[in-house]
Every structure is written in C-alpha cells, then in structure tokens.
Structure 1
C-alpha cells in the first residue's frame, strides 16, 4: 500500500471536505456562463414539458397531498400529508430496532407495510378488513420475492427491509387502493425506481430513514399509478430490471407462481415479534446469556470472557464491536452480551448513550469474541460459552428463539412490550388503543388511530 492509499480518508469524507472547502470565487466568468446556460436550458425544457401527461398526473397527485388527504403522526398526533406521515411513522417505528421481523426477508416487514397502509387507510377512511387484506398481500409479495434472492442480496450489503420492502409495500398499497393489474404493474415499476438501502448505514439514523423512505415511496408509487403514471412492465425481472441489478438474475417464476395458490406467508413463515430492542442477530445469544446468568447466578465481574459462535452469515449485521452510541450498540454482539451480564436484562434503557458508555460495559467489549462456522446459513443457531475468572465455564446452544414464529410471544407478553414502549414516552395507559386494535375486523382505521394516546413534546 503506497502513501497515497494510506492517506485515503474515504469517499464520503473526501466529498465532505470538498463541499466544505469549495469557494465561490473559484468560479470564472466562463463557469458562470456554463451554469446559466444549463439553468436556461433546464427551465426552458421543463416549461415546454409542463403540460405533458406525466406532469399533469404528477400535479394532480401533489394537489391531493396538499388538500384533504392527511394522516396522523403516531405519538405527537399532528396531521401530515399521507406520504409524509408514512415517512415519519416509518422512521419512528424503526429507529429503536424493536420492530418485527420476517426470517425469509431477513428484514422488518411491518415497518414498511403499516406506516404506508395506515396513512392511506386513515386518509381514505378504509376499514380494518381492508387494511388486513392489503397487509397480507404485501407480506406475501415480500416473502415470495425474498426467497429466491435473499441470501446473496443481503450479503452484498443491501438493507432488505428497504430494498425489497418497498416492492411489497407498494403491492399492499395497490390492493388498498383497488388498482388494476396494469396500475399495480406501473406502481411496482415506480417502486423499483426508488428502491434503495445499504447496511453501511446500520447504527446510524440513516437506517431508520431507509425504512421510512420506503414506506413513503410505496404510497407515492401507488398513488401516482392510481392517477395514471406509468412505468416499464419489465422493471422487476427484465434484462435491466430489479433482479438483474439488485440480485443475481435469479428466476422469480417458481416463487411468484405460487401467489394465491399456497398457504399465506402471514401464518406460514409468520411475523416474528422482537423480545429485545436491537438487531435480531443478537437475540439467540441474549436468550442464552440471560439463561446462564439466571441458572448460575453469574455477574459481569465473575466473567473472564465470552465466546459466541454462530452459523454462516448469521452475524452479518453486527458491524459495531466497540459501540459508543445507542444506535451503534443496536448492531453490536459485544454490547448485547455485556448488557445482559451486567444488568440481567436488555431493554430500551440499555441503549441510552450513557448506559452504552458505562466504563465497566465498555471494558468488557474486548472480552467478547464472535465467530461464524462454515456451512449452511439455515437453520439458525448460536453457541455461547461463558468463561469465568476462576477457570470454570458454562455453555449453551440456542436454536429456538423467543419471539420467533416457532416460539411466539404470548398476547400477554406482547401487551407488556407495548406498555413498556408507551411508558418509555411517559404514556401510562395505552389500553384504549390496544382494545381497539384487537377489534381490527370490525372497526375503521380512523377509529384505531383516534384511540392512540398523544405524546407531549
């Protein structure tokens, strides 16, 4: 490696330095001329095209956003245009990394489905039955798309919650809006045009942005298609489509041919409700560490080091070995183990910055080793060995995961989790919302949203 390579600070930092340091007086008259020429050309062409059908449709969609189509921002209770509400609620629902999971997707389905669907359903006064049907459709599309492509797609660094979720959420919104086959195809093409999301952003605010952005994109795609905006019918599986660009050209024929002909994924692969508010890749280890701690009365001070071994690609999202913030700690096996041993729990408060930075917790990070074994990526498992300073060690292998489709949380455990989440914002009684949500089949979405407590700023 030469000195120039050693000094390389990375693309984002290099761009940032350029942006910060660039001075306007660098520009000559010729530069200004080039810019005003571009300005004249661009605006002139836009004026010429302003009454083309695509522009007319776009203005109609935007007029609807500005007019009566608004939805509620969950918590603060303010009204926003539906696309903005979907974005805001998507960010809020993903930032704690406590939202549910789909194993085939290797991502979080509800956070791209429900902010979009609830915003649309509230604005258009749809029923709980309408929303449930749309959710089932969206999850089905997510899982059927995920199965052929997920392993390599995720391993390459795509954030599948966003990159695949936007397609499923768009299909769900299309169902809720009653779009035709052609309109749904157009909506999906528009979703492909916006699909994105990188695992590089894990541990930052941008991860939750990616989820919120995908929910908003789904609303935008479906609404534009509803107004008549078109796209390429081969945007997903054409030569230059999603499967070629985002995957490895895997065929979707077998998986998608089962749509509507097989058991619904809503129950078959299931929705996995998280027990702990951090990356799912840590949960088996947390279960094991907490079990060993309780069984043998362990404390952090007694432990020399901990070895965690997992199956192939199981720990890919865990990118922060020495986290300094709560967001980073949500993608750290080291913090998961240290917090579980130190406190006997892993809860929302475990990820306050000051709790992550506790000296005894920080000092323990280097004592947690994480390894993957070669072999199949499924079924998932974690093996935990806790070594004590007195020479003893305790070991536990965890295959079943609390909160998974095979070992789901009970309703009582779910309500306890919900109450903990509301109390985190000092809302003590969410009972009206919980009761109304359980009546989904028989009420409107407006009724459910109206029952949400308002959180003070």
Structure 2
C-alpha cells in the first residue's frame, strides 16, 4: 500500500472536518482571537505603514468591493486582505501561539473576511475555516521550531500563508486535490525575515501571508496545479526552512487537540518576550520607596532569547521600540503605562525616556524560562528594588479574560478609529456562529 503523503493527510483533514467536530471551547477561543484581531486592526488602521501601503495599492487595485477595517475607503479583496493583516499586526499587539511565537490570526482572518464579501459565507463556516487555518499554520510552526525562527525566518509570515490558504480553501469548498494545490501555491509565496522586525517591512510579510494565502486558494479553485508534496518533499517547505523538521507534529492528535486553544493575547504592543519585563516594571513603579530621580542603574535579567530579541539600546523609532527592552523599561517606569502611545516615535525621543534608557543593562540567565524576567533598580540612596515575574499577564497561566479583550478593542478603536462604536462589533463577533452572513461583522468595523 502506498503511504499517504503528509500534505495529502492535511488536505484530507481540512476537507473532511465538520463544524460539529469543534467543541464549544474551540469555538469560543476562535471568537476571542477574532475579537482581539479587530481591536489590533482598528488600532493600526491609520498607522503610517497602513496609510502608505494603501496609497500605493489603490493606484493598481481592482473593484472596490472589500472593507478596509477602520476606514471609509474600500478596495479589492486581495488588497483588503493585505491591508487588514498589515494593520492587525503593525503594532505587534496581536495574539501569540506560545510554542512558536506565531501570531496566528493576522494571516488567516483577513483572508476569510475579504472572501466573505465576495462569496456568501455563514459565520459558522468562517469560524470553522479560521480554526482549521490556525491549526495548519501552527502545526507547521511546531514542526520547524525553534530552528526556523533562529535561522531568521519570520514565522508568522512564512507559516501564515499556509494557514490562510487552507482556511480559504475550506470556505471555497475545495476538494482534497485542490487543497494540495493551494498549499503548493502557498509554498511558492512563503516568505518573511526576522531582520525586518522593528521596521515597516515586517508588515509586508504578514500582509502578503493573508493576500497570497487567499490567492493560492482562488488559483487552486480554477485548476492552478502545484506539487504533490509542497510541505514535506525533498525541496519542500519544512526541509528547506527547518533544521531537523519533526514531521510527526503535523498529524499527531490531528482533530483531537486544537492549537487555537493555546492561543494567548498581548496586554502590551510589543514583542511577547517583553511582557514579563513590563509587568515587573509596573510592580516596581508602585513600590513606596521608588524615587525616579535617584535611579542609578537598572538591570533586566532573563532567558537568552530575551536578549537575542530585545537587547536594543539605541532605537530611534516607535517601531524599533516594540522590540527594545531598554525602551520598554524606561517608558513604563516613567509613565506607569505600556500602551500604543508609549511605543510611539514621540515616546522614543522623549528626553526623560532617553535619560532613563541609558541606565538599563541586560543580563543573560539560562536558568530562567522563556517569558520570565527580573527587573532590579538601584537608587543613589542605597535602596534596591527587585521584582521577578515568571508568568506574565496575557500568558497561558495568566490569560486575558473576555472582558479584558473587549476593553483592549475599545481602547484601540478609540485610538485608531474614534468614529467607530465598538459595541455592535463586539456583539457581532460573540454571536458570529449564528450569523447567516459572516461579512456582516465588517459593517461595524468600517466608517
């Protein structure tokens, strides 16, 4: 008997999966992920990167049939997927799959909502496809982590395009062979480099993962054929971009455990490894003996990954600050907050932030788990304040509640799209599984 390829097994899983296979827990987590996405997309819808991308794309766009979240303008479906993924990820405030650090929703949800404005899709169909897309992208990530990211691949973009392709394929009703083609088409467009983090270029990779994933499925629907083993083949995605791929991660427990149930949601708009650092700084700031004017030195101690990702003492823009421990420490201690405004260009050039930032030193400690950190502050009067955080707010052990995600959406809407009332949007997401037309959500997410 011929062994069934891994790519075909994944395609068959997507084809055969039923809405009834998803537990209420899985369905609810999908809604939480989408709610969080709408918040981050509303917050980023007028960022300079989003605006510049729109100004360029509109010159070449097709029929203006699709929503750009948070804005009055419309654009064609493929470019809407690109722009909405970009705005949902631009502040680095989106969800995180802890094992891989993939931000799962930004590549998948924008592709599905763009498709929903072209084809009639129910809310349940969109949620089901979304869960499947997240499953595919995160299982691919599991199979090549941690080597893939360490080699410099931006895993949200590289794996996200497969998730978007699988999700769109499900909504289009593609058969097993067509889904294999869609995944093959996605493999030809998988790209994104860690070197771009802290710049606008990062968002191109994430935007393309949504756009190109949707394109991959639409091409496959028309018979645009791809390779039979784009994922595990000798020159396929896993072998080319991974060190020693763990192929079993693709299918072990498939349909029994769901990656979306491990999803987490950021409380701060920065790299996820900084969450514990910020939590520690907020606790330090509330210490009764703290005197900001007497600070002599600040040390940040954590896992080597914390230094690898965030030891950036000389950032000059808000985007760079999203992955700078030195800036995060300084601005949080000074303001007592860590929101979008604290990671703006203005905050980065604030003289008081610069002064305090120069006092921050980082220490590598391999005994710390990833995601843990200690912040120690020494004052001129001899007082030392030290706080260690092992489980950051928003982590798997301290997840944001539904109410906290709603509050996050409201704050981001007020920041990026103040003309939008978030209440109907929030209600539409919580009841999405009952909607006859999934695109109805978007009427509450645009001006």
Q: Under a length normalisation based on structure 2, what TM-score does the superposition of the two structures give?
A: 0.82
Contact preservation (8 Å) 1:293, 1:344: yes
**Cα distance between partner residues in 2 of 1:363 and 1:273:** 31
Runs of 4+ in structure 1 over 6 Å off: none
**Cα distance between partner residues in 1 of 2:86 and 2:280:** 30
**RMSD between superposed Cα atoms in Å:** 1.9
**Cα distance between partner residues in 1 of 2:153 and 2:170:** 26
Contact preservation (8 Å) 1:148, 1:250: yes
Any residues of structure 2 matched to 1:149-164 within 5 Å, and which? 149-164=144-159
Q: Residue in 2 aligned with 1:46?
A: none
- Larger RCO: 1 or 2 (CA < 8 Å, sep 6+): 2
Contact preservation (8 Å) 2:299, 2:362: yes
Match of 1:115 among 110, 119, 123: 110
Q: Per-residue CA shift, 1:360-402, capped at 9, x if unaligned? A: 21122221112322368x5532122122222221222211121
Contact preservation (8 Å) 1:112, 1:169: yes
**Cα distance between partner residues in 2 of 1:176 and 1:91:** 22
Match of 2:334 among 330, 339, 342: 342
Match of 1:359 among 351, 354, 360: 351
**Cα distance between partner residues in 1 of 2:62 and 2:347:** 43
**Cα distance between partner residues in 1 of 2:411 and 2:423:** 12
**Cα distance between partner residues in 1 of 2:378 and 2:168:** 51
Match of 2:250 among 256, 261, 264: 256
SS at match of 2:75: strand
SS at match of 1:445: coil
Q: Residue in 1 aligned with 2:288?
A: 296
Which runs of 5 or more residues in structure 1 are unaligned? 1-64
Q: Residue in 2 aligned with 1:312?
A: 304
Q: Residue in 2 aligned with 1:184?
A: 179
Shift in Å at residue 138 of structure 1?
1.2
Q: Residue in 2 aligned with 1:407?
A: 398
Deviates more, 1:445-454 or 1:191-200: 445-454
**Cα distance between partner residues in 2 of 1:249 and 1:233:** 21
**What number of residue pairs does the alignment pair up?**
385
Contact preservation (8 Å) 1:300, 1:338: no
Q: Residue in 2 aligned with 1:330?
A: 322
Q: Residue in 2 aligned with 1:206?
A: 201
Which runs of 5 or more residues in structure 2 are unaligned? 1-60
Larger Rg: 1
Q: Residue in 1 aligned with 2:278?
A: 286
**Cα distance between partner residues in 1 of 2:296 and 2:148:** 37
**Cα distance between partner residues in 1 of 2:426 and 2:74:** 21
Is residue 448 from structure 1 mapped to residue 441 from structure 2 by the alignment?
yes
Contact preservation (8 Å) 1:299, 1:341: no
Q: Per-residue CA shift, 1:36-84, capped at 9, x if unaligned? A: xxxxxxxxxxxxxxxxxxxxxxxxxxxxx9569x321111132222111
Contact preservation (8 Å) 2:296, 2:379: yes
Change over 3 Å in CA distance of 1:259–1:227 after alignment to 2: farther
Contact preservation (8 Å) 1:202, 1:319: no
**Cα distance between partner residues in 2 of 1:217 and 1:428:** 29
Change over 3 Å in CA distance of 1:379–1:352 after alignment to 2: closer
